[in-house]
Amino acid sequence: MKCRVTILGTPYNLEIEDGEEEKVKRIAEFIDSEMKKISRDGKIVDTYRVAINALLEITSRYFDLKEKASIKTGGVKNQIEMLNRRLEEVLEEKISVGKG
């Protein structure tokens, strides 16, 4: 399936999976917005450099979010392991009491 998006005034025809059009358009709008922010500053005028700077900014945010998610996931994983250990202890106690 083809999808047409525009980034910094340049149209792109992309080959995408069926059902992905809205997602691809949202991504393209986000990229366009980030690149416009950088080019509006006026410090960078070359489109290639604007794209690289936008890519670095987006990737930096992605890694920050990934790290935060990992920390939260790690905390939840630790809690689950602790609860599993406690459950095993309780079950062992019940089995011991039932045998005695």
Find the mean pLDDT for residues 50-77. Answer: 88
Task: Find which of 34-38, 74-78, 85-89 is predicted with most confidence, using mean pLDDT.
Answer: 34-38
| Average pLDDT of the residues in 28-54 | 91
pTM: 0.67
Could you tell me which residues come within 8 angstroms of residue 1 by beta carbon, excluding any fewer than 6 positions away? 15, 16, 17, 18, 20, 21
Q: What is the mean pLDDT of residues 49-63?
A: 94
* CA distance linking residue 58 with residue 85, whole number of Å: 40
Confidence at residue 69, expressed as pLDDT on a 0 to 100 scale: 85
Q: What is the pLDDT of residue 68?
A: 86
Give the CA distances from residue 14 to residues 6, 17, 18, 29, 47, in Å, rounded to whole numbers and listed in that order. 11, 10, 12, 14, 19
Q: What pLDDT band is residue 100 in, cutting at 50, 70 and 90?
A: low
